[in-house]
Amino acid sequence: MVKVGIVGGTGYTGVELLRLLAQHPLAEVAVITSRSENGLKVEDLYPNLRGHYGDLAFSVPDTALLGSCDVVFFATPHGVAHGLAGELLAAGTRVIDLSADFRLKDADEWARWYGQPHGAPQLLPEAVYGLPEVNREQIRAARLVAAPGCYPTATQLGFLPLLENGLVDDSRLIADCKSGVSGAGRSAKIGSLLTETSESMMAYSVKGHRHLPEIIQGLGYAAGHAVGLTFVPHLTPMIRGIHATLYATLLDASVDLQALYEARYASEPFVDVMPAGSHPQTRSVRGANVCRIAVHRPQGSDQVVVLSVIDNLVKGASGQALQSMNIMFGLDERTGLNNVALMP
Ligand SMILES: NC(=O)C1=CN([C@@H]2O[C@H](COP(=O)(O)OP(=O)(O)OC[C@H]3O[C@@H](n4cnc5c(N)ncnc54)[C@H](OP(=O)(O)O)[C@@H]3O)[C@@H](O)[C@H]2O)C=CC1
Ligand SMILES: CC(=O)N[C@@H](CCC(=O)OP(=O)(O)O)C(=O)O
């Protein structure tokens, strides 16, 4: 049994970890933290967990207690893992961080985008970016995994086959992405109110979103050189889901894109390349650890349009983090992650 601790158990990614871990036969949650709900039983806050966690209750973060776990997930705002990860690693506990704290390799760039100094630059060299479709072998041996962001997951998985094979003009890529409101987390914000988000849709952070450097970093590794990307996120009136519409111009128009994508992801358990001409819906991945992709060439032109959908809380956060945990502990990668999406 893998003994699991979770820091930040009351938020949306925290409760999603609890939901997925309740179905995991080889892991048990031993410690779950919340400062605001200290002492409350998890099933009293989240009735969907009733019957799954017995008397497990939230407690305030305590590094000695967390350090008795095999692995600790951070489902916290950025900056929190910077302060605690080093101590846990020293205690022999592996760390999977769902926040952005260890995703960017350059501490100065992190500081520019996150508006505060990087709190643990000494840990960056060993942090492994937790995208199994790219870094599976490094994740296996990692002590510290940085789980990718939601937009970066959908965007990278959609673009990777094109960039790894040098098939497009990668100086002018476009990622037009839509997110559900749960992407903004559970804390109270006017912009997340039903009255603000329903019956409406808007772009935001067009001048630069924090996920831009993360996506550019990952796509740059895939291409083998720096790439250019315009990334525009949008907020849409749904609870879960990311829909990424990705555009690139082909350098070689003779390539069979469908065969390319099917071959790239043939052995990936959580990437589904749909039949040519498909239009994946976000609801087809709701609750499931899956990225569904369809690749198009409208009117046979040299323009590629890739459609990539995930559930931001599953393949975009907690499911992907659990996938990394399975890999780190030598388990079948699919353990606890086989649930089918909810339709409708
Ligand atoms: N929502 C999403 O779709 C995705 C989120 N992420 C990232 O995952 C992380 C968690 O996101 P999400 O679940 O949405 O966030 P929420 O705001 O919903 O939850 C945050 C959690 O962190 C705890 N917390 C807050 N501050 C601290 C602190 N200083 N020390 C310890 N615990 C703290 C809170 O509990 P309490 O205050 O009671 O301690 C709460 O349980 C964020 O970094 C987010 O950006 C990544 C991918 C997708
Ligand atoms: C809809 C919405 O607000 N989405 C969030 C997604 C960010 C997120 O979850 O950020 P990390 O994964 O990088 O921590 C945003 O745009 O800030």
106 found inside a domain? yes
216 and 294 share one domain: yes
Residues 155 and 297 in one domain: yes
User: To the nearest whole number, what is the mean pLDDT of the chain?
Assistant: 97
Same domain, 122 and 173: no
ipTM of the complex: 0.97
- Do 48 and 166 lie in one domain? The reply is no
CATH of the domain at 112: 3.40.50.720
What gap in Å lies between CA 85 and CA 40, rounded to an integer?
A: 25
Looking at the CA of residue 316, tell me the nearest atom of ligand 2: 12
Same domain, 210 and 91: no
First to last CA, the chain: 35
CA-to-CA dists, residue 65 to 6, 13, 251, angstroms: 11, 21, 55
Going by their DSSP bridges, the two strands 71-74 and 94-97 should be labelled as parallel
pTM of the entire structure? Answer: 0.97
Catalytic residue numbers read: 150
Specify the DSSP element, H or E, that contains 264. helix 257-264
CA distance linking residue 307 with residue 291, whole number of Å: 10
| DSSP one-letter code for 175 | E
Q: What are phi and psi of 209, to 5 degrees?
A: -105, 150
* Dist CA 281 CA 242 (whole Å): 10
CA distance 244 to 157: 10
Do 247 and 290 share a domain, yes or no? yes
Asked whether residue 60 is assigned to any structural domain, the reply reads yes
pLDDT tens track for 212-241: 999 999 999 999 999 999 999 999 999 999
Whether 280 is covered by a domain: the verdict is yes
Measured between alpha carbons, how far is 289 from 240 in angstroms, rounded to an integer? 13
Atom of ligand 1 nearest to the CA of 180: 3
Measuring from each residue's beta carbon to the nearest atom of ligand 2, which residues come in under 6 Å? 99-100, 149-150, 179, 183-184, 210-211, 233, 235
Q: In the structure, what pLDDT confidence band is assigned to residue 344 with cuts at 50, 70 and 90?
A: confident
Count of helix runs (H) and strand runs (E) in the chain? 11, 13
Q: What is the CATH number of the domain that holds 193?
A: 3.30.360.10
> Is 322 within a domain?
no
Range of the domain at 189: 150-311
- 174: tokens are 């476009």
| Number of structural domains the chain divides into | 2
Q: Are residues 113 and 159 in the same domain?
A: no
Torsions phi, psi for 174 (to 5 deg): -130, 130
Stretch 36-50: mean pLDDT, rounded?
97
Tell me: do 118 and 208 sit in the same domain. Answer: no
Do residue 7 and residue 115 come from a single domain?
yes
Over 90: is that where the pLDDT of 40 sits? yes
Total residue count of the chain as it appears in this document: 344
Q: What is the pLDDT of residues 83-141, one digit of tens each?
A: 999 999 999 999 999 999 999 999 999 999 999 999 999 999 999 999 999 999 999 99
68 and 118 fall within a common domain: yes
Write out the two tokens for 330: 């030598």
Query: pLDDT digit string (tens) for 294-310?
Result: 999 999 999 999 999 99
Distance 90 CA to ligand 2 centre (A): 30
Same domain, 110 and 163: no
